[in-house]
Structure 1
Amino acid sequence: MRPFIRAWFRSRLPWLVLLLLIFMSHFGFAFLFENLQAILTYQMSLLAVLALFFLGWDLVRDWRKYQLALRDQAVPSASSSPSERVLQTRLASVLEMQKADQVLARAKQEELLDYFTLWAHQIKTPLTASQLLVEELADKDSQQALEQELFKVGQYADMAMTYLRLESFHDDLVLAREDLHDLIREAVKKYAIFFIRQQIRLNLADFDKTIVTDCKWFLIILEQVLSNSVKYTRSGEIAIYVEGDDLVIADTGIGIQPGDLQRVFERGFSGFNGRVSQQSSGLGLYLSKIIADKLGHSLTLTSQIGEGTQVRIGLKQADLQLD
């Protein structure tokens, strides 16, 4: 506010000095000619009211222009307006600093993405070697247990990559008409070892449904939901079916505490189950929700303690259409 007022007074200084001289001349004439004091006093009063009205109107007009330019972050052209001169000096430097910060942040993001991309590729080598060694174990129980743990390490590496790639989500988006049943089978196949070892029954309904989506990003949603289902279902059943415009993935696991239901999609929130089992990163459902929103899917979750959890992925997409 103060820089604007100072700039406004500087730009109006010639007019203010002229008004001051006019008032001083009227005072001088009133002092010299006493018989004209009444007329001169009336003239000065009228002039003062008009001057105050005009200066107030001019000040308010320039202040509104100043606020509008600040809100739009637009650098004005050269002008005699004080608000524009203030903005030229202030906003130009601010925008330049913002631009420099954005370039630096983008460079750091790209550097971090390059590092984790290299790390994710390099970690696959020892994981693959470990899986080959595990396959040679004679003890089948130990073999399956180690395979599960190696699978989790690979999933965590993929999750880190997914988190970083969200910044460039649309650069990596390839929309196509996909068969939903095929996508589900592909996701379930990755978790087959968990279904077998934990004796979880899979009830996959037979349906014919196609959706417009990016198969890679949509599979991430399915895999994260399935990961939670098998993680907290030690036995029982996972049912996958289409109901109306929703894909439903329902398990008979331990369920989610009522107090945690409103926060399951928050970043880093592991909830009561995650704290007890120490198996939750607090990122799976958070990433799934973000990806679902970007793809035009809704993602909702309901649960009952001791009865299981039901996740609904909305398949009705008004915004995604193929050319």
Structure 2
Amino acid sequence: MIAKFLKEYSKWYLLYASMTGLYLLTFFLYHLPITFFLTSFSFNLTLLFGISIWLFLGFRKKMKTLETFLSVEELADFTLPSEESYRDLILAIKSSQSQRLLDAKHQHQGLQDLIKMWSHQMKVPLSALSLMAQTDQLDKQEVRQQLLRLEKYLDTLLNYLKFSGNKDDFRFEICSSREIIMDLIKKYRVSFLAKNLSVNIEGDWQLKSDKKWLSFALSQVLDNAIKYSKDGGQIAVKMDEKGITILDTGMGILSEDLPRLFEEGFTGFNGHEHKKATGLGLYMTKQVLDRLALSIAIESQVEIGTQVFIGKQKV
């Protein structure tokens, strides 16, 4: 502690020693009695010793406070302008640190809730597959549909974790939205057949984007169109140089739910009513499209259908 004290106040002691040397030089040059200098030096040294003890006690108290303090209120004795600046800086750092800890806690809690929700969603297709296996009634089309659901839930979770960790692997190239849609329709053909849905595709949209992530975003929209369509319904995909529009003749979305569709974890009336939503699909879609510099807009009417438009963001 003494070494730290001397290090902090070394400049002042060096200044005192320099001034003492100058006074001694003055006495020597003017042939003044050295006794007067020694008397003055004794008084000054005694005063310096007393002041040093007082400064050291204050320095030790501050050092112990800094080593053990838990709240900024404990730094109330730091009254010098420079000390107040340090105190304000410590307060700002602690506030920022507390906010980061709170954010991390919320993120951890959100991840736990997500895992619970995801596990619950996975149980449904797994239970269906288990029941078919136990009863020896393995319907090929139904098995494919349940496996497709499992694949979608897993894909959504993995992409969510990747985005949450700010780990992305975008690779921009010229893409054909028609090719992507055709691949997705082939992927979801079992779901189309299960609900006897017809699909109509018009035009194409050539754009520079990341094919994998654009495909993921479009798959979420197309999956919702299939999920909430009525048996025997229709899905239309229209593309031009402005963007891509996906329309369905499903149950539609309540007007009060529309502004919150892209919130994380929001399922809305349809999700609660049919217990098919995780609240991540459209949230992830919006996150991905934002990174791709694309926009998404949704219009819907209950019992009439939903229209989703994806295009380039306006500059």
| TM-score of the superposed pair, with normalisation by structure 2 | 0.59
Structure 2 counterpart of 1:88: 86
SS at match of 1:267: coil
* Candidates 219, 222, 226, aligned match of 2:218: 222
State the Cα distance separating 1:235 from its structure 2 match: 2.1
Q: How does 1:139-288 map to 2 (within 5 A)?
A: 142-169=139-166, 171-207=168-204, 209-233=205-229, 234-243=231-240, 245-288=242-285
Distance 1:317 1:172, change over 3 A: farther
SS, match of residue 177 in structure 1: strand
Give the whole-Å Cα distance in 1 for the aligned partners of 2:175 and 2:314. 14
CA shift, 1:153, in A, is 1.4
Q: 1:150 to 1:98 in 2, by over 3 A?
A: same
Change (3 A) 1:278 1:178: same
Whole-angstrom CA distance in 2 between matches of 1:304 and 1:192? 26
State how far apart, in whole Å, the 2-side matches of 1:188 and 1:224 are.
12
1:88: how far off? Answer: 2.7
Q: By how many angstroms is 1:280 displaced?
A: 0.8
1:246 Cα offset (Å): 2.5
The structure-2 alpha-carbon separation of the partners of 1:93 and 1:162, relative to structure 1 and needing over 3 Å to count, comes to: same
Which runs of no fewer than 5 residues in structure 2 stay unpaired? 1-78, 119-124
> In structure 1, what is the Cα distance between the partners aligned to 2:146 and 2:275?
14
Q: Which amino acid aligns with 2:160?
A: Y
Question: Matches of 2:90 and 2:256 in 1, distance apart?
Answer: 49
Question: Hey, what's the Cα distance between the residues in 1 that align with 2:266 and 2:165?
Answer: 24
Q: Using the TM superposition, give the Cα deviation of residue 95 of structure 1 relative to its aligned residue in structure 2, in angstroms.
A: 3.6
The CA RMSD over aligned residues, in Å, is 3.9
In the alignment, does 2:297 pair up with 1:300? yes
CA distance in 1, matches of 2:284, 2:168: 17
Larger-gyration structure (1/2): 2
Give TM-score scaled by structure 1 length: 0.58
Count of residues in Structure 1 that have an aligned counterpart in Structure 2: 223
- In structure 2, the CA distance between the partners of 1:83 and 1:312, relative to structure 1 (3 Å rule), is farther
Q: Structure 1 unaligned runs (5+)?
A: 1-80, 121-126, 319-323
Equivalent-residue separation in structure 2 for 1:148 and 1:183 (angstroms): 20
Distance in 1 between the 2:141 and 2:201 partners? 24
Residue type of the alignment partner of 1:180: S
Deviation at 1:90, TM superposition (A): 4.5
> Cα deviation per residue 1:52-103 (whole Å; 9 max; x = unaligned)?
xxxxxxxxxxxxxxxxxxxxxxxxxxxxx95553233452575489679979
The residue type paired with residue 278 of structure 1 is K
Alpha-carbon contact 1:250-1:311 (below 8 Å) kept: yes
SS at match of 1:213: strand
Q: Aligned equivalents of 2:168 and 2:280: distance in 1?
A: 22
Q: Which amino acid aligns with 1:236?
A: G
Residues 160-215 of structure 1 show CA distances to partners (whole Å, capped at 9, x for unaligned) of: 111111134464222222122112222222211111221111101133x3212111
C-alpha distance in structure 2 between counterparts of 1:278 and 1:210, whole Å: 36
% of aligned pairs identical? 30
